[in-house]
Structure 1
Amino acid sequence: MNPNGTWAAAYAKALALIRQMTNEEKVNVTLGQSGTACTGATGGVPRLGYPGLCFSGSTAGIKQQELVNGYPGGVHSGASWNREMNRERAAAMAREFRAKGMHIQGAPLIGPLGRLPRGGRNNGGFSNDPYLAGQLAAMMVEGISSAGVVSTGKHFVGYEQETYRIRTGDVDPVSSNIDDRTMHELYLWPWADVVRAGMPAVMCSYNKLNNSQACQNSKALNGLLKGELGFQGWVMTDWFALTGGYVAAAAGLDAVMPSPGLWGSNGSSLVEAVQNGSLPAARLDDMAARILTPWFHLGQDAGYTPGGWGATAHFDLPHRKVNARDPASKEVMLRNAMEGHVLVKNANGALPLKKPQMLSVFGYDAAAPRRMNIPSPNDDGFDWSRGNESVDPNSIVQIDGVSYAPAAARNGTLVHAGWSESNAPAYIHAPFDAILEQAYVDGTSLWWDFESENPWVNANSDACLVFINAWATEGQDRSALQDAFSDNLVNNVAANCSNTMVFIHNNWIRLVDAWIDHPNVTAVLFAHLPGQDSGRSLAQLLYGHVSPSGKLPYTVAKAEEDYGDLLPSLPEGRYALYPQSHFSEGIYVDYRHFDKHNITPRFEFGFGLTYTTFAQEEIRRSGRLWRA
């Protein structure tokens, strides 16, 4: 590590502090600490005034805490194609992290990039286009840094499926086998952007990379990340991803999370490796310096209040009640939520609505989930998501002995994805809440049914609004890109309503060909993951106060097979214990694949309508404009 520019002074401070430490204290700086109220914490050196660091997710806001906001998800922000807004969104989120005394935010998500259309964690990222993903992720790094918080790019690298992402019984994690061109032109591209933006930390991934564990792959960590890209920050494992002991440190790993793991109790094996010469002492100093430098550089060494945590260095429970919400964030959240909606069909100017006399509202996704699940204080954040309450835990789909996530979450509206991409928003303003409020103003009569697959439709309805969703979560890939119940609902309503409008809260790609050409389906809006202001943002678009501006950050196919043979790789044959995922499609992912094979999509990458109309001559002169 040889920082220059704005990091040089912080690096000098880090080295000065390290010179005062014993080897045991240096090792403790690199160790995750279990039993804390953070998602994860690193060890401190109390006698020298270094408290250690508190880490929390997610890409949509703080986990494990109340009195925080639930921001739009990554894919929602990707659909905005708006650099500056993504910087503002990240800064607003990071100010809440700082108010809670948290040092590190688990964002931006860069991998998975979105190779598999059914990937469970694609939604945390911005796009499967490396340029768009990199540009927006870089803005997120800048925004988080502006609040004095450490941003953590995750996950490095080739993490493109949830299925067999970790060791399962006797079966090893899947190996992502990627050639040099594909690595550099596709998967490494957005990482170059975030490194240039000054990102301080990287989380390595669970998967193997060319049959070497990603968190101890020297070619990836020392060669690509710290060598070619010049990354000067620190690399931490994903949770419990360390498999190789102290050799991972030699391969470029700087910290093991969320507990010492294979580095021994209190890091004893790492200390021993330094003492017997197995690991150079200079490498241990480098590990500690990489962790401490951002702490100094972002001003966390002075005036950093441990707001939501106890007074001890290990952020012990219980945490204090701290309201981290800044009223100034309301405008940022609402604007972000509005800009991530993508209008893909609007026949005969069906939208916006103009003071309708009667509306019928259908679908499980229209109203808020029925309850907020309160977890134990040490919970890792999974049940803090109100969005997770939209999912029936018994609805997991089993295909050939492998568990996949249900295609839809039918217990309420979605505002974000599951597990690490979720949090506990202060409230959920659901679509039906907003429609109720506007109905009061306009004098509109409302009919609704949030449960039936084949609801009764009042023939006098001016419009029928159907709300469906597409679910995804960490830990499982998606079972399908469409859902029979939801598609039947749309067709059943459209069969009896000549002005049927469909709104989809989708975690990623959602196919629509089961009903998109129905003559009574007049409008379709991909509403993505808008966060806690879901209904409020939708109403601005629905009633024409704001014109839709979002663009698809992915390609919507006519059929799932149009994406090619891109399903999660499973153990098979001679590799029954060592699943192999060969990225044989190379750089031809999403629109590149469609172009190469001359496949016509339903909606192409970058597609999106607005309420404004343009003369053909104006369109010809202006050409294709990208809002990024």
Structure 2
Amino acid sequence: MTDTIHRPPGAVDVDALLDGLTLEEQVSLLAGADFWRTVAIPRVNVPSLKVSDGPAGVRGGGPLIGAMKTAAYPVGIALGSTWNVNLLREVGASLAREALDKGAGVLLAPTINVFRSALNGRNFENYAEDPVLTGRLAVAYVQGLQENGVAATPKHFAGNESEYQRGTISSDIPARAMRELYLRPFEMVVREADPWAIMTAYNRLDGTYCSEHPWLLETVLRKEWGFSGLVMSDWGGTHSAGESVRAGLDLEMPGPARARAGLLAEAQADPATAAAVKERARAVLRLIERTGTFANPRDVSDSAEKDTEYPETRALIRRAGAEGMVLLKNAGGVLPLPAGASVAVVGPNAAAAQVMGGGSAQMNAHRRVSPLDGLREAPGAGAVTTAVGCDNDKFLPVPQVPVHVEYRAHAGGDVAATDDRPQAEVMWFAYPEGVNPLDFHGTLTLTVHAPQDGAYDFSLASAGLSRLSVDGQELVDNWDAWRQGDTYFNFGSDEVRERTTLTAGPHTVTVTFQPHVIDNGIAGFNAVRIGFRAEPDEGSVAQAAAVAAAADYAVVCIGTNGDWETEGVDRWGLGLPGRQDELVAAVRAANPNTIVVLQTGGPVTMPWLDSVPAVLQAWFPGQEAGHAIADVLYGRAEPGGRLPQTFPASLKDDPTHPLNPDVQYPGVEGHVEYREGLYTGYRHVDRAGITPLFPFGFGLSYTTFELSSPALSAASVGAGESVTASVQVKNTGSRAGSTVVQLYVRDRESSLDRPAKELKAFAKVHLQPGQIQTVTLPVDMRDLAYYDDGQGAWVAEAGDFDLLIGQSSTDLPHTLRLSLSTDWKEPTA
């Protein structure tokens, strides 16, 4: 064994340190130590580095359910709706402080896959359907994080545009679409923000897993774009030892090593693998150095995490949440609400604060302010009444009651350890001392209360085997009947429900649990969800309509929640679940002043749209949701959002469905073919000649704007030159507000087929009444170019281009003509 390397505090020679490591030590760095930490090497003072899930908050090292409290920020699509680069940088900086409070030097964020299908389960985590909008926002977010010492990890690289069979499916993407749409945001963020890490996608790309794809990781990412950071797998997404190392994957997560368990033997037998191991270990050490962890090793234990809630963070979340809300309709200026008016706040999302989506993006928020809370607490609010009307549950609600857990080595054995959890959903990421995560028998005990005699539903969903008994009588069998389903990232079962009759009062619920590892599962990942509710009241919609009729205004809070919008399973369709459409119709019939507040992670159909005067798309805006919604409804904040995704009128207008809905989406025999090529979102709308429900870039304000005097800095450019377009923006209304100036490029004649227009630049403008501002937007060669896979190059052909300027993809009143005098080409190889 070599001697301990001594170095002055804060100064690390990574090359010298690497040379002093044994091959075994180098290999040890290439898989995590546990779920959230890298391996430490005390002999040479290499500390452990902690990572944490993002992107809408920093959960820390705890479980997805019941971890230490933390700040919950607006989800990705809500931030994307702001079109505000400066705000994204501010959010990144704020998240850096949150990460350091949790002992984490790496945030697993941002999520920057572009929207391909409206049914993507992680739609809510991403920013936009357009690569330039996604890329610009991602660059700012990464810069904000890393300027404050925390590594960003843009994900999921690449081709992860749906959740169906995501762990194995091959995304078969045409070369031009791959370059122009799906790689473009990653290219922008690598070249412009230099992220210190990147995460590979679960899926395969044209048949090869992304985590062991030499073209993706070496040819494109490192050689072409100059990426200098660390490449890690998604959790459980490493599939080989030496092959993934040689392909360019630095770190297998989580640990201990699973796919790389035999890596040392491979490296000892193969010099090429040993050389690749050294390069991969260099990347791990460099990330530790870049995050300042050598100079200031953090206490990365979960017990050392802070749950500090900063007033300025709360204010930022509230402001960002409001700025991302999109006012879709405001007939007759029904909004803002007048002070003192009585308001009925009804719907399944009225008293329930839907602040985030599900999956790895969820966290234990400091606060969850519901729309009902926000409207009741709003300055100037009048009388506020409420009714649920209907539910929008995918699963039965989880009882928010204490749960006592007993651990035994086997059924009927002595209690080896105990644990207490705050609610009836448990996800194990840590275990009491002496408990084997792969082999234990757990007993969970809780008490539920039946408010009256009647029928009640119980349910179980589990990653592992489970049974549920009520007052000693077995009711739900999810043990012998266990089948792999859609819960817990597809590692769990589907929900199993049973109904029973209860008398009013307390009842003891007991659940037995045992681990059950499935193929491609993560060993030691165990979870169980207990559901409970009374049989639904069929008259609830009418009751809500009656409450609405008695108020001046009705605010109907509908949408989805983190059970519907989540990782591991795609969305159900474009219709709202349950009786929500019926509820809107009933409330509108009872009160003409009906405002719909819609909280979803993506587009939905709105059969009631023509009948209601106002619709506000509020997304999942973070922990201050209710306050942000109230701010917009009462006009204290501008509805600053513009749609980052086309809202189709029906599913048949979604670009992945018209041609071959099986092959094109969700996939057949392990392959999903991106047959639509370049034509997603507004590009598809233009080519198909369809009218969307709402177009890309659309959003109303509480004021009005006029664009005038468009101009170019030069009418003609040569190869390699750039130009700027300018336009004057005037606030023609009576109050302050914001708009987004958008510039699209149209190639008037091209050798290859191109979309009718493509977004290339944008700017968010905030103006006082009557104020005029000149907005300048840059246009360079890449903005004029397409990717020619035959030449392996970006090509802008000599000729004329139209620069279209306006406030949405269908509102582009100004056209400027730009001529390119000579061809321009930029090879990628």
Same-fold call, TM cutoff 0.5: yes
Measured after TM superposition, the shift of residue 67 of structure 1 is: 3.4
**Number of the residue aligned with 1:66:** 68
Q: Which has the larger radius of gyration?
A: 2
**Number of the residue aligned with 1:77:** 79
Q: Secondary structure at 2:264's aligned position in 1?
A: helix
Does 2:318 match 1:182? no
1:420-569 alignment to 2 at 5 Å?
Answer: 420-438=360-378, 441-451=380-390, 452-454=540-542, 455-457=544-546, 458-470=548-560, 471-483=564-576, 485-512=579-606, 514-518=607-611, 521-566=612-657
From 219, 223, 248, the counterpart of 2:219: 223
**Number of the residue aligned with 1:313:** none
**Number of the residue aligned with 2:102:** 100
Measured after TM superposition, the shift of residue 563 of structure 1 is: 1.3
- Partners of 1:365 and 1:450 within 8 A in 2: no
Q: Structure 1 residues 496 and 218, CA, compared in 2 at 3 Å: closer, same or farther?
A: same
Partner amino acid for 1:526?
Answer: Q
- State how far apart, in whole Å, the 2-side matches of 1:459 and 1:124 are: 37
Whose helix fraction is larger, Structure 1's or Structure 2's?
1
From 358, 377, 396, the counterpart of 1:418: 358
Partner amino acid for 1:85?
Answer: L
**Number of the residue aligned with 1:323:** 307
- Partners of 1:28 and 1:42 within 8 A in 2: no
Does 2:230 match 1:234? yes
Give the structure, 1 or 2, with the largest relative contact order (CA under 8 Å, sep 6 or more).
1
- State how far apart, in whole Å, the 2-side matches of 1:474 and 1:72 are: 17
Partner amino acid for 2:364?
Answer: A
Partner amino acid for 2:362?
Answer: S
Q: Secondary structure at 1:120's aligned position in 2?
A: coil
- State how far apart, in whole Å, the 1-side matches of 2:107 and 2:706 are: 46
Q: Secondary structure at 1:176's aligned position in 2?
A: strand
**CA distances 1:398-452 after superposition (whole Å, capped 9, x unpaired):** xxxxxxxxxxxxxxx311100111111101011100111237x444353534543
- Partners of 2:102 and 2:305 within 8 A in 1: no
TM-score by length of 1: 0.82
- Partners of 1:341 and 1:549 within 8 A in 2: yes
- State how far apart, in whole Å, the 2-side matches of 1:496 and 1:325 are: 42
Measured after TM superposition, the shift of residue 125 of structure 1 is: 1.1
From 297, 321, 326, the counterpart of 2:290: 297
Partner amino acid for 1:476?
Answer: V
Q: Secondary structure at 1:40's aligned position in 2?
A: coil
- State how far apart, in whole Å, the 2-side matches of 1:206 and 1:32 are: 17
**Number of the residue aligned with 2:819:** none
- State how far apart, in whole Å, the 2-side matches of 1:264 and 1:280 are: 12
Does 2:137 match 1:48? no
Count residues in correspondence: 545
Measured after TM superposition, the shift of residue 232 of structure 1 is: 1.1
- Partners of 1:274 and 1:280 within 8 A in 2: yes
Does 2:22 match 1:22? yes
- Partners of 1:239 and 1:258 within 8 A in 2: yes
- Partners of 1:214 and 1:220 within 8 A in 2: yes
Q: Secondary structure at 1:434's aligned position in 2?
A: helix
- State how far apart, in whole Å, the 2-side matches of 1:449 and 1:284 are: 58
Q: Secondary structure at 2:555's aligned position in 1?
A: strand
- Partners of 1:570 and 1:580 within 8 A in 2: no
**Number of the residue aligned with 1:385:** none
Q: Secondary structure at 1:206's aligned position in 2?
A: coil
Q: Secondary structure at 2:94's aligned position in 1?
A: helix
Q: Secondary structure at 1:137's aligned position in 2?
A: helix
- State how far apart, in whole Å, the 2-side matches of 1:279 and 1:542 are: 63
1:158-177 alignment to 2 at 5 Å?
Answer: 158-166=159-167, 173-177=168-172
Does 2:273 match 1:271? no
**Number of the residue aligned with 1:610:** 701
Q: Which moved more, 1:579-588 or 1:11-20?
A: 11-20
Q: Secondary structure at 1:345's aligned position in 2?
A: strand
**Alignment root-mean-square deviation, CA:** 2.4
1:118-137 alignment to 2 at 5 Å?
Answer: 118-137=119-138
Q: Secondary structure at 1:488's aligned position in 2?
A: helix
**Number of the residue aligned with 1:379:** none
**Number of the residue aligned with 1:382:** none
Measured after TM superposition, the shift of residue 54 of structure 1 is: 1.2
- State how far apart, in whole Å, the 2-side matches of 1:328 and 1:617 are: 38
- State how far apart, in whole Å, the 1-side matches of 2:295 and 2:314 are: 29
Q: Which moved more, 1:535-544 or 1:481-490?
A: 481-490
- Partners of 2:170 and 2:205 within 8 A in 1: yes
- State how far apart, in whole Å, the 2-side matches of 1:282 and 1:139 are: 35
Q: Secondary structure at 1:154's aligned position in 2?
A: coil
**Number of the residue aligned with 1:148:** 149
1:254-403 alignment to 2 at 5 Å?
Answer: 254-265=250-261, 269-277=262-270, 279-306=272-299, 309-310=300-301, 319-320=303-304, 322-368=306-352
- Partners of 2:52 and 2:106 within 8 A in 1: yes
- State how far apart, in whole Å, the 2-side matches of 1:226 and 1:129 are: 24
- State how far apart, in whole Å, the 2-side matches of 1:292 and 1:11 are: 13
Q: Secondary structure at 1:182's aligned position in 2?
A: helix
- Partners of 1:250 and 1:283 within 8 A in 2: yes
**CA distances 1:36-76 after superposition (whole Å, capped 9, x unpaired):** xxx42221211111122211102111222423211111111
**Number of the residue aligned with 1:399:** none
**CA distances 1:476-515 after superposition (whole Å, capped 9, x unpaired):** 0011112252111111111221111000111112222x01
Partner amino acid for 1:543?
Answer: Y
Measured after TM superposition, the shift of residue 298 of structure 1 is: 3.0
Q: Structure 1 residues 591 and 571, CA, compared in 2 at 3 Å: closer, same or farther?
A: closer
